[in-house]
Amino acid sequence: MSDYILETKNITKKFGDFVALDNVSLRIKKGTIFGLLGPNGAGKTTLIRIINQIFLPDEGEVLINGKPISFDDITKFGYLPEERGLYKKMKVGEQAIYLAMLKGLSKEEATKQIKYWFKKLEITSWWNKKVEELSKGMQQKIQFVITVLHKPDILIFDEPFSGFDPINANMLKKEILKLKEDGATIIFSTHNMESVEEICEDIALINKSKKILDGPLANIKEDFKENIFAVSFAEIIEKENLENKNWEILYYSQRKGHTHIQIKNNSGITHNQLLSKLIQHGTLISFTEVLPSMNEIFIKAVEQKNLSNE
């Protein structure tokens, strides 16, 4: 059996003269949270629709456990699309049962699972409300329940935090992590790159239909780090007294009797050597390497890709 639960191999998709995806290959390990990242219009949703067999690729193939995807495999998926599809006039509970039965659950099992999730998300009072009476965030919770209640092996969330306030977004993150702990493989597609840093193990960056970067998130952050360190001293130290040929001071501040700086190690000395030189300037209370954000990595990766194409 393949080490990867899902693979896309050399996927290309065109709509007329427009190239939506250009030779995109991904490999997703079972039981992980995979971030499919990139700006709006990059091709992420098109790739998700190909994985779900809504579109067929012009070139390439999708593999499940090392074998070409079949229609039966789609029953193992839970898909939360970016564009929601609830029936506005139907009552919430009635609609949830109907959609759950379309996924193969009996009415009894569907009702049991829905009541479990409604109680967990504290939305039992919505059962007899019409969808049109709910806010966008409330509707999002209903769609989340419908996506996960048949316990699929692979969950695909396309912009899942859209319409959520920070509290509900954090609630959803916790539920996604719990689903992963229970054995689900999760594909998380978003243009908001910061929202996935806490939960994704592996990522792929897509820009203008092409994959420009992929791999374990921790490794990517290591590859793109720039030897920048956040340092705090217990006392007030004037900036000129912190100047040193081994580093460049990028940021300096004094707060509550402490001195805080960010420095860039330009000299190539080791972390231990850098630390020993900093100690000569004052009493250290923190010393942390600053890793780049996903936004910073994306910008740099695009710039590098553009330079390589020139």
* End-to-end Cα, the chain, rounded Å: 41
Q: Which domains does the chain have, with CATH numbers?
A: 4-91+145-222 (3.40.50.300), 226-289 (3.30.70)
78-93 exposure pattern, b = at least 16 Cβ within 10 A, e = fewer: bbbbbeeebeeeebbb
What confidence tens digit (pLDDT) does each residue in 1-41 have?
678 999 999 999 999 999 999 999 999 999 999 999 988 88
What confidence tens digit (pLDDT) does each residue in 173-182 have?
899 999 999 9
Weakest mean pLDDT among 52-66, 101-115, 142-156, 157-171: 157-171
Signed CA dihedral, 29, 33, 38, 40: sign only: positive
Q: Which of 179, 160, 189 is nearest to 43 (CA)?
A: 189
Q: What is the pLDDT of residue 193?
A: 77
In percent, the amount of the chain with pLDDT more than 90 equals 65
User: Could you tell me the strand order of the sheet in which 228-233 lies?
Assistant: 247-255, 258-265, 228-233, 284-289
> Quick one: average pLDDT of 226-249?
95
Distance CA 181, CA 290 (A): 29
Pair 183, 190: CB distance under 8 Å: no
Weakest mean pLDDT among 233-237, 265-269, 287-291: 265-269
Distance CA 223, CA 235 (A): 34
Pair 9, 47: CB distance under 8 Å: no
Query: Can you give the pTM of this predicted structure?
Result: 0.87
* Residue 310 scores a pLDDT above 60: no
Pair 115, 124: CB distance under 8 Å: yes
Instruction: Say if strands 228-233 and 284-289 run parallel, antiparallel, or are unpaired.
Output: antiparallel
* Residue 213 scores a pLDDT above 60: yes
Q: What is the pLDDT of residue 47?
A: 96
Distance CA 180, CA 175 (A): 9
Phi, then psi, of 260 in degrees rounded to 5: -125, 130
Written as one letter, the residue type at 288 is: T
In terms of C-beta density within 10 A (0-12 exposed, 13-18 middle, 19 or more buried), how is residue 55 classed? middle
What confidence tens digit (pLDDT) does each residue in 68-118 have?
999 888 888 999 887 767 888 889 999 999 989 988 899 999 999 999 999
Q: Could you identify the residue written with the tokens 């609609």? A: 95
Q: What is the pLDDT of residue 307?
A: 67
Tell me the two tokens of residue 176: 């996604």
Report the 10 Å Cβ neighbour count for 278.
20
Q: Which of 136, 68, 145, 139 is nearest to 103 (CA)?
A: 145
